[in-house]
Amino acid sequence: MSTSQLTSCDTFVALPPATKRGFVVFGKNSDRPQGEVQEVVHFPAASHEPGSKVQCTYISVDQAESTHAVILSRPAWMWGAEMGANEHGLCAGNEAVWTRLESDDDRTERLLGMDLVRLALERAATAREAVDVITGLLASHGQGGPCSDTDASLLYHNSFLLADRAEAWVLETAGHLWAAKRITCGVANISNCLTIGVEMDLQHPELHSEAISRGLWDGSGQLNFKQVFGRDGDADGCSRLTEGRKLMERYAAAGEFDVENMLAVLRDAPSGICRAYDDPFHTAASQVSVLPPMASARPACHWFTGTPDPQRSVFKPFVFVPGARISPHIQSPAIEDDPAKAQPRFQRPVERAHRLYRLHGEALRTRPERHEQVRGLEQRCVPELDRFLEQFTAEQAGELQELFKDCVESELQFYK
């Protein structure tokens, strides 16, 4: 599969005054190769020994002395995550971008964009801090390596959308170079082409000099990041970027954008944002997060599918509370680290499908009507949970510990 013809993901954010009750609403579709399983995993906050290392997908990096609690949606073969959130209300997602700095050196195994998403969520409490985490790791380790466990040619640079309760940041990279833009109101989205022009709030310290030395810019006027570093021919990603922005602006026009509007955006098929379960590069999983204002006592709520095609999947809610648990049925089987069982690279050596993924897929093939029935769970849950969270007090935290787990197991009952 040629990387130049891949269609990949979209990430969105809506902020006040476009949103209902001053919320920030984050959403992402993760489009991945057909057959790649995506799982939802939760890791509690942790302390780590000074000087310790953490093994990412390909390389190890210095571990932070403490890491935040996170919930992640990730391809089951990798350490990093396509998208996720942490206990402080920070959300993050990445997109594949192809730039003029592509080279054979991109095959060198370094940090994947997905590793950077997880590292940012584990180490940053705000979107601005996440920019510093990612750019610091880029400077220390760089990005690179195959982004698929079956296709060694799937190589790309990354853009990121980072959102917290107050603001969002778009961070776009071209190799080790980068530019970042702050978003404080309205709607924004990223897809598979660079979006930042001259309006950079932060940038790599050598961005201008490297653009000149590489012959990409003559130094006159203002440097336009997407024009200088963007690659020609990425029409599909830019088309979805345009169509996604139109959808967001339409839903946000009344200043009442909410979780249901974001669900509708992620399920929009005519724009190409939602890719069907049988597409060779389908929407493998999706996330929507609702972040209340900083002054609100209401907790953030994060909705994940863990299954392909949001039109035929159910979003299940998770809230960070002490003792929160998620279902093992949405987590892939553990893989033994046994060299005797090693398989050639870029072949899936084991079955990674979790139970929800298997039963969801069987129902798609044999009983598609079940998905319409099970969507009723989500349709009831969204307004009921909204009312509960609006009146939430800390004493009620125990009632949310198994919220996500219960929703997964209720969904499974429909597929049996």
Digit-coded pLDDT (tens) for 300-329:
999 999 999 999 999 999 999 999 999 999
Helix (H, G, I), strand (E, B) or coil at 321: coil
pLDDT of 232 higher than 80: no
Nearest to 90 by CA among 169, 2, 206: 169
pLDDT of 341 strictly over 90: no
Q: What is the pLDDT of residues 132-177, one digit of tens each?
A: 999 999 999 999 999 999 889 999 999 999 999 999 999 999 999 9
Residue 6 predicted with pLDDT over 60: no
DSSP annotation string for 193-223: S----S--SEE-TTHHHHHHHTTS--S-S--
Statement: residue 339 has pLDDT above 70: no
The whole-number pLDDT of residue 371 equals 83
Checking if the pLDDT of 231 tops 90, the result is: no
Looking up tokens 């987590």 gives 331
What are the residues facing 318 on neighbouring strands?
302
For residue 257, give the 3-state DSSP assignment. strand
Helix/strand/coil for 392: coil
Selection from 208, 247, 260 nearest residue 25 by Cα:
260
DSSP label of 288: E
- At 342, is the pLDDT very low, low, confident or very high (cuts 50, 70, 90)? very low
- Structure confidence at residue 338 (pLDDT): 43
Task: Indicate the range of 12-21, 342-351, 368-377 predicted with least confidence.
Answer: 342-351
Give the CA angle between residues 281, 374, 307 to the nearest 5°: 25
Query: What residue spans define the domains of the chain?
Result: 3-415
The answer to whether the beta carbons of residues 291 and 58 sit under 8 Å apart is no
CA dist 323 and 187 (Å) reads 34
Task: Convert 256-289 to b/e letters by CB count within 10 Å (16 or more is b).
Answer: ebbbbbbbebbbbeebbbbbebeeebbbbbbbbb
- pLDDT cut 70: percent of the chain above it: 93
pLDDT at 223 > cutoff 80: yes
Q: pLDDT class for 334, splitting at 50, 70, 90?
A: confident
C-alpha of 79 from chain center: 14
Distances (CA, A) of 100 to 43, 89, 94, 135, 239: 37, 34, 19, 19, 20
User: Each residue of 40-83: pLDDT tens digit?
Assistant: 999 999 999 999 999 999 999 999 999 999 999 999 999 999 99
Q: What is the dihedral of CA 79, 407, 264, 392, to 10 degrees?
A: -100
The region, left, alpha or beta by phi > 0 then psi within -120 to 50, assigned to residue 346 is left
Does the bond joining 17 to the residue before it have cis omega, within 30 degrees of 0? yes
pLDDT (average), residues 243-252: 97
CA dihedral 116, 121, 124, 125 (to 10 degrees): 160
320-348 b/e (C-beta count within 10 Å ≥ 16 → b)? bbeebebbebbbbeeeeeeeeeeeeeeee
Note the pLDDT of residue 344: 54
Per-residue pLDDT, averaged over 221-229, amounts to: 97
- Bridge-based pairing of strands 91-97 and 66-67 is unpaired
The 10s digit of each residue's pLDDT in 71-121 is 999 999 999 999 999 999 999 999 999 999 999 999 999 999 999 999 999
Residue pair 25/259 in contact by the 8 Å Cβ criterion: yes
pLDDT band for position 129 (cuts 50, 70, 90): very high
Q: Which helix (H) or strand (E) holds 266?
A: helix 259-266
Could you tell me the pLDDT band of residue 235, with boundaries at 50, 70 and 90? low
Residue pLDDT, tens place only, 359-378: 999 999 998 888 888 888 89
Neighbours of 151 (CB within 10 A): 16
What CATH code is assigned to 3-415?
Answer: 3.60.60.10
pLDDT at residue 350 tops 80 = no
Q: Which residues are designated catalytic?
A: 9
